[in-house]
Structures are given as C-alpha cells and as structure tokens.
C-alpha cells in the first residue's frame, strides 16, 4: 500500500484505508486531500493565465478555452470558466492567497470572481470561508444586483446634475463652464479632437504653418476647434446624423480584381484605406463551396457524389455531411457554422463526394488552406490533422502521468469559521457586508 507522508498531518495518507483505521482519520484524510486539490487548482489557474498571456493556444485553436477543452478533455463551458477565473484572480490578491494555501475551494472562488473587486474582496472572502459554495453564489448575485441599483442611482444623479453656463466676462470674452454626463463628455472631447485635427491640416499649406504650430497652445487650439464645431453645426442645420454613420465599418470587395479594401467611415474624419491582395491559397479556400450540379444519386434520388462536373455542394450532400460531422472537425473546435472543405481540392482532381468533404469553421478552413495545417480523412467522419511541421494534432491527447506520491499536503483549514446549519439570511448578510463600489471599482 503506497503512502504519502504529510508535513503536518498526524498520520500518513494512504492510497487505501485499512479497515481498522479510525473513522475520524479517514475524514481528516479526505479534508487534507481536498485542500491539496484546491491548492493544485490554483497553480493550474496561474499557469493557465500565463499560457493565455503568451497566446500559447494560438496554433490553430479559437481561444485558450478551446485549447484547454482539447488538451485536458474538460467541458468547453467549464474551460471558459477556468480561463475567466484565472484572469480575475490576478486582481484579487486576498482570494488568490487563500486558494493558494488550499483554504478555499474552486467552486467558491468561481462564485466570488463574478462580483469581487479589490475593494470588496475581503468582505466577500470572509463570508465565503464561513458559508457554502451555494450561499456564496447567492450572496454574490445579490451583491451585483445591489451594485446595479447603486450604479443606476449614481447615473441618474449625474444626469440630473448636468449643466452648462455661459457668460460674457469684463473683457468681452465668452466664458463657458459646465458638467456633462460621461457619454456626452466623451462625444464632446472626440468632436474637439477631430475639429482640432481638421484645423491643423488646413494650416499645413499656409506660409505661417510653422509659426502657428509653435505659438498656439493646446487650450487655444481647443478654443478654435469649438468655434469650428459651432459653425459646422449651424451650417448643417444641427443634423445629428445616425449612429451608423458615426461608427459603421464597411468592407468593399472588388470582384474583378480579387482585392478587398477596408474603409472606416466617420461623420467628421476620413480614415485611411488599405488594399489587400488575395493570395492563391485564399482563393482556393473561397472556391471550396459554391453552386449545385448533382451527378450521382442514392436510392432516394439524393446526390451523394457529383464527381468532376462541379465543385458545388448539393443540398443533399450538405445534409449528409452535416449529419455525419455535426460541427467543425478540427480538434477542440465545436463551431457549428462551417464550410464544406474539399480534402483533395477540386482543381487538383478531387471529387465533390461525401468521402472527400469535411466540415471546417471559417477559422480552421483558413488554417488548412493558408496556415499550413493538413488533414487526412479515414471514413465515417474520422479525420487526422497535422500541424504545419507535420506532427499529428491529436483529437484527444492523453493526460500526463502523475508521479506518486504527488507532494506535500496543505492543512490550513483549522482557522476557517464553520457554518452551523442555521438558515441563511441573505438580506442581513448584505446589510452587514455591503459597501458601495468606488469609482475605480465600478464595472
């Protein structure tokens, strides 16, 4: 029987429990192992955050969560939660330190990170250490609802306190003083910057351009910009335009030349244009999927193979392909909006048949055509993918074999307050613990 000796445990932890072992010792072993799991989970989250910062997953995978889902086999939703919690802990030192010692579970930390900030984490952590994971989730949800109410009240107060005053000073200058809501203030600041840029460009062709650049202070430029804004507004009849005009991003594609130009439109500024040549690999990817000319039919008359007549995917073949693959076949990807990819391209002699097709999402379709990835189908939807270097990208890689014993245990559970089983009074807990968020902590 293999044993692992714990630094501060009264007895060794065994891989099995002797029938004569006291029941209390068995319970203590469970608690110690649970604390070790919490601490190891914290280490996993730290590594996961570092891996995400380094974009280690950016080798064909959509996100760090998709890579984690592929590499470890956990559910994609759970993988997304782990990535979220990993990044949230970076700003929560108290919760991080407690989980690092194994004194709080991942379930509680997951709930805490949905509402904890550096300002309130101490209060929420004290509660979580005494309560259950479910109670912690309830408290955080209620805390966030109260935060929303407080934020709405503050927003209403800002709206009611907006003001703008103008008066003529003794020297005849117009003085302007005001308080604007954050969103209106942002629009005004952006408009002043745009107008100042316009004035600067207009000055470039004048003989006094260099002299003006040296003489005008930023405050003077903003004053001139405000004048331009007023003149422009009066000239346009105070037309607001539309939100689409202010923020819309338009993509123009020139079909005859195969070039794409990206243009950002704005009501006050003209942003640069870019033209990008479409490579041969890109055109091959785009041409994978087109219109319909059936050639070979099944017993019910549905096309299953249209050979070399066309690269078009008939609806019958597409339905069969969707039923077989269901989602993108790239390892770890679960996207359902997919292209039908010809394994052997039509221009290279490939047929438009179910055996020569595989579903790939747009990202991984591009990775196969232009990113150097390759694949080999094996029938019935089974597919082997290869990295650009030629190594196999496993569909479900095996987990590493852990050494035995795993390591020292953590036993810092004695100072945790114990819930006595009495009913959980949510309103009372909020009254005692809640403090309004500061301006920096407000989401």
pLDDT at 59: 84
Q: What integer pLDDT is reported at residue 293 of this predicted model?
A: 37
* Residues 26-34: contacts with CB under 8 Å, at least 24 apart: 31/413, 32/6, 32/409, 32/410, 32/411, 33/409, 34/102, 34/105
Q: Is-contact 355 345, C-beta < 8 A?
A: no
pLDDT tens for 177-189 read 999 988 788 888 8
Cα 175 to chain centroid distance, Å, stands at 46
Reading the block at residue 407, the tokens are: 């390591």
Q: Characterize the bridge pairing of strands 374-377 and 13-14.
A: unpaired
pLDDT in tens, 90-120: 999 999 999 998 889 999 999 999 999 999 9
Low-confidence stretches of the chain (pLDDT < 70) are 1-18, 205, 207-214, 240-311, 380-381, 399-423, 439-443
Q: What is the pLDDT of residues 152-185, one digit of tens each?
A: 888 888 888 999 999 999 999 999 999 998 878 8
Residue in the block written with tokens 């066309």: 310
Res 213: pLDDT: 64
**Token pair for residue 356?**
């020569």
Q: What is the pLDDT of residues 24-58, one digit of tens each?
A: 888 888 888 888 999 999 999 999 999 999 999 98
pLDDT at 240: 65
Please choose, from the candidates 102, 107, 154, 100, the residue with its C-alpha nearest in 3D space to the C-alpha of residue 132: 107
Q: What is the pLDDT of residues 276-293, one digit of tens each?
A: 335 444 445 445 654 333
Burial class (CB in 10 A: 0-12, 13-18, 19+), 387: middle
- 213 near 206, Cβ under 8 Å? no
Could you give the CA distance from residue 29 to residue 16 in angstroms, rounded to a whole number? 11
Please state, in angstroms and rounded to a whole number, the distance separating the CA atoms of residues 167 and 293: 76
Task: State which H helix or E strand residue 359 sits in.
Answer: strand 357-361
Residue 80: the pLDDT is 94
Please give the Cα distance from 178 to 188 (Å, whole number): 12
The helix (run of H) or strand (run of E) holding residue 344 is none
Distance from C-alpha of 62 to C-alpha of 43, rounded to nearest angstrom: 24
Q: How far apart are CA 115 and CA 147, in angstroms?
A: 9
What span, in angstroms and rounded, lies between the C-alpha atoms of 315 and 321? 10
Sign of CA dihedral 173, 174, 179, 185: negative
**DSSP helix/strand/coil, 264:** strand
Distance CA(62)–CA(361), nearest Å, equals: 10
Helix, strand, or coil (residue 350)? coil
Q: Using an 8 Å Cβ cutoff, are 351 and 309 in contact?
A: no
Q: What crossing angle do the helices spanning 121-130 and 133-160 adopt, rounded to 10°?
A: 160
Query: What's the confidence (pLDDT) of residue 176?
Result: 92
CB atoms within 10 A of CB 280: 9
Which residue is associated with the tokens 């709930």? Answer: 111
* Summary mean pLDDT of the chain: 75
Query: Helix, strand, coil % (nearest 5) of the chain?
Result: 45, 15, 40
Enumerate the β-bridge partners of residue 260: 253, 276
CA 69 to CA 327: how far, in whole Å? 15
For residues 252-273, one letter each, b for 16 or more C-beta atoms within 10 angstroms of the residue's C-beta and e for the rest, the string is eeeeeeeeeeeeeeeeeeeeee
DSSP for 5-16 reads: --TT-SS-EESS
pTM exceeds 0.85, yes or no: no
Question: 192-208 burial string, b = 16+ CB within 10 Å, else e?
Answer: bebbbebbbeeeeeeee
E strand map for 119-244: 163-168, 174-179
Backbone angles phi, psi at 206, to 5 degrees: -95, 155
Distances in Å between the alpha carbon of 215 and those of 108, 197, 211? 60, 16, 6
């Amino acid at each position: 029987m293999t044993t692992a000796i714990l630094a501060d445990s009264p007895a060794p932890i065994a891989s099995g429990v002797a029938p004569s072992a006291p029941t209390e010792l068995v319970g203590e072993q469970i608690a110690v192992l649970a604390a070790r799991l919490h601490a190891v989970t914290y280490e996993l989250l730290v590594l996961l955050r570092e891996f995400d910062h380094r974009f280690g997953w950016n080798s064909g995978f959509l996100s760090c969560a998709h890579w984690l889902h592929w590499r470890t086999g956990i559910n994609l939703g759970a993988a997304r939660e782990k990535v979220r919690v990993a990044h949230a802990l970076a700003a929560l030192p108290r919760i991080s330190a407690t989980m690092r010692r194994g004194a709080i579970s991942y379930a509680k930390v997951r709930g805490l990170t949905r509402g904890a900030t550096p300002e309130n984490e101490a209060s929420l952590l004290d509660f979580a250490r005494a309560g259950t994971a479910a109670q912690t989730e309830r408290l955080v949800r209620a805390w966030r609802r109260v935060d929303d109410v407080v934020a709405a009240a503050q927003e209403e107060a800002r709206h009611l306190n907006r003001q703008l005053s103008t008066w003529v000073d003794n020297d005849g200058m117009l003085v302007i003083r005001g308080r604007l809501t954050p969103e209106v203030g942002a629009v005004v600041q952006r408009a002043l910057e745009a107008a100042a840029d316009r004035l600067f460009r207009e000055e470039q062709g004048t003989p006094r351009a260099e002299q003006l650049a040296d003489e005008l202070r930023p405050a003077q430029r903003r004053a001139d910009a405000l004048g331009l804004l007023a003149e422009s507004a009066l000239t346009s009849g105070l037309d607001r335009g539309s939100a689409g005009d202010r923020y819309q991003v338009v993509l123009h594609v020139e079909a005859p030349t195969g070039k794409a130009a990206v243009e950002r439109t704005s009501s006050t500024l003209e942003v640069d244009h870019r033209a990008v040549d479409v490579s041969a690999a890109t055109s091959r990817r785009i041409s994978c999927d087109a219109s319909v000319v059936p050639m070979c039919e099944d017993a019910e008359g549905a096309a299953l193979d249209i050979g070399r007549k066309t690269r078009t995917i008939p609806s019958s073949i597409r339905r069969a392909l969707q039923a077989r693959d269901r989602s993108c076949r790239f390892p770890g990807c679960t996207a359902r909006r997919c292209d039908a990819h010809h394994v052997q391209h039509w221009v290279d002699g490939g047929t438009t048949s179910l055996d020569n097709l595989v579903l790939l999402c747009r990202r991984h379709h591009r990775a196969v055509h232009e990113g150097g990835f390759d694949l080999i189908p094996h029938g019935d939807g089974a597919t082997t993918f290869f990295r650009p270097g030629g190594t196999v990208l496993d569909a479900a890689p095996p987990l590493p074999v852990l050494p035995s014993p795993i390591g020292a245990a953590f036993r810092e559970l004695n100072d945790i307050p114990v819930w006595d089983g009495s009913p959980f009074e949510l309103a009372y807990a909020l009254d005692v613990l809640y403090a309004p968020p500061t301006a920096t902590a407000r989401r």
